[in-house]
Amino acid sequence: MKEKITDLAFFGGAPLFETPISTSNLVKPSLERFLNYSKVFYKNKKYTGRGELVVELEKRLCSFHETDYCVTFCSGFWALVGAIKNLALEGKSEVIMPSLTYRRLADVVSWAGLTPRFCEVDTKTLSISPKEVEKIINKETSLIIGVHPIVNCCDALGLEKISADYNIPLLFDTVESVYETYSGKKTGGFGDAECFSFHASKLINGFEGGYITTNDFSLYKKIMKFSCSDGNGHVGINGNLNEMHAAMALSGLDEINDNVAHNKKIYKLYSELFSKIRSVRVLEFDEKERTSYKNIVFELLPEWKIPRKKLIDILNKENILSRAYYYPPLHMKNARYKTIFGDLQKTEILSEKFILMPCGFFVKEEDVRKIYDLFLFIEKESSSLI
């Protein structure tokens, strides 16, 4: 317990946690399960190039998301490039996407040879909305990327309507909403296609990897072709998922419900405890839908006096690896490629307000209690910490 301000690690005290606790999930499925799946590639002597485990994983993901098709990739990044390349309208140059989002998403669009046009976000969902998209659709719009935020979903049905009204393809980046439903329907089947990641920090840990789901057969064929270069003149990428990563992802998929049950316990405790601190709000999961309870995001309300950057420094010194939520927004970064944007005032204001807190597999209830006590202490001492 911290009693005086110099007990804070920021001022040289002992850190609250001996080993750092992370804002990433880092789920570790049972080793036995992973090794059991791994026997398949040992036996088959086929380690990559669409082996038995990759095929099984794609089948399992189709049933998990209730979609017709799934294609795995070596990363979420290349799954996104593959989807964009095969979906964007030919002869048009721009992709509408939010700026308050994943730090590499504009790079992905640029790799696909297109120009990001950043869209303002909705204040309530913190994500792209049909209203904001409609304002910036123009004759160069080749694709809309609906990115789900890290708590709950964006308005997928509203975006589908805009996409249909204007005849512009719609891709979802659903990396943060693997387990969610929207309006009662599982993610995976919205828009023309959806993209996911198996990066170790995500809900399903496949070390690295990604996949695309779709219900469109001709798109599926094109994406399959894109994912592997045949060396005979057809230009694809060498972007396959390997068997070992598929073994890890299959193990994670087997255990996903236990993982979510753990996340729910952690989220409930954060909500209960932090409801007693009036200057901080825990972003609420929409429990009318199915949800992963994975990410814990705090909003620092106007009553909270310590600047966010200082707070994050203080927490990091205690070995609590909190981070700012999607900061800086992409339009404020120095990109080496062209980007287009107008006034993004809401994005800029929102980008200053939120922090990510430790969550996922390795966070215990006892850790949440310690974090809560620390916040109480920091808040009490705010006047000397500003």
Ligand X SMILES: *Cc1c(COP(=O)(O)O)cnc(C)c1O
In the complex, the smallest distance separating the C-beta of residue 156 from ligand X, rounded to whole angstroms, is 15
Our finding on whether 259 is near ligand X (CB under 6 A) is no
Q: Which of 54, 41, 39 is nearest to 253 (CA)?
A: 54
Q: Which two tokens stand for residue 234?
A: 């057809």
Residue from 95, 151, 170, 175 touching ligand X (CB under 6 A): that is 175
Rg over alpha carbons for the chain, rounded to the nearest Å, is: 22
Contact 370, 16 (CB under 8 A): yes
Our finding on whether 173 is near ligand X (CB under 6 A) is yes
In the complex, the smallest distance separating the C-beta of residue 154 from ligand X, rounded to whole angstroms, is 11
In the complex, the smallest distance separating the C-beta of residue 199 from ligand X, rounded to whole angstroms, is 4
Asked if the bond preceding 169 is cis, omega within 30° of 0, the reply is no
| Contacts (CB under 6 A) with ligand X, residues 327-366 | none
Our finding on whether 102 is near ligand X (CB under 6 A) is yes
In the complex, the smallest distance separating the C-beta of residue 83 from ligand X, rounded to whole angstroms, is 11
Our finding on whether 64 is near ligand X (CB under 6 A) is no
Nearer to ligand X, 86 or 197 (CB): 197
Could you tell me if residue 159 is left (phi over 0), alpha (psi between -120 and 50 degrees) or otherwise beta?
alpha
Size of residue set near ligand X by CB under 6 A: 12
Q: Which of 66, 56, 33 is nearest to 252 (CA)?
A: 33
If you search the block for the tokens 């800029």, which residue do you land on?
348
* SS3 label, residue 357: strand
Alpha carbons 28 and 362: distance in angstroms, whole number:
9
Residue from 58, 107, 176, 318 touching ligand X (CB under 6 A): that is 176
Our finding on whether 76 is near ligand X (CB under 6 A) is yes
- CA dist list (Å): 181 to 58, 198, 362: 20, 19, 25
In the complex, the smallest distance separating the C-beta of residue 89 from ligand X, rounded to whole angstroms, is 22
Region of 75-83, 239-247, 338-346, 356-364 interacting with ligand X (CB under 6 A): 75-83
- x/- string (CB under 6 A) for ligand X, residues 106-145? ----------------------------------------
Nearer to ligand X, 128 or 368 (CB): 128
Sequence-ordered alpha helix ranges (H) in 167-278: 217-227, 243-254, 256-274
Region of 113-121, 170-178, 182-190, 243-251 interacting with ligand X (CB under 6 A): 170-178
Nearer to ligand X, 2 or 331 (CB): 331
Alpha carbons 280 and 276: distance in angstroms, whole number:
9
Nearer to ligand X, 297 or 368 (CB): 297
Contact 159, 166 (CB under 8 A): no
Our finding on whether 177 is near ligand X (CB under 6 A) is no
What crossing angle do the helices spanning 308-317 and 365-380 adopt, rounded to 10°? Answer: 130
Compute the CA torsion angle 202, 207, 208, 213 (nearest 10 deg).
-60
Alpha carbons 118 and 128: distance in angstroms, whole number:
10
Our finding on whether 82 is near ligand X (CB under 6 A) is no
CA atoms within 13 A on the CB side of 374: 24
Residue from 82, 98, 191, 210 touching ligand X (CB under 6 A): that is 210
Residue from 38, 75, 129, 177 touching ligand X (CB under 6 A): that is 75
Residue from 86, 197, 322, 351 touching ligand X (CB under 6 A): that is 197
Residue from 37, 64, 69, 77 touching ligand X (CB under 6 A): that is 77
Judged by the rule CB under 6 A, the positions of this chain that interact with ligand X are: 75-77, 102, 105, 147, 173, 175-176, 197, 199, 210
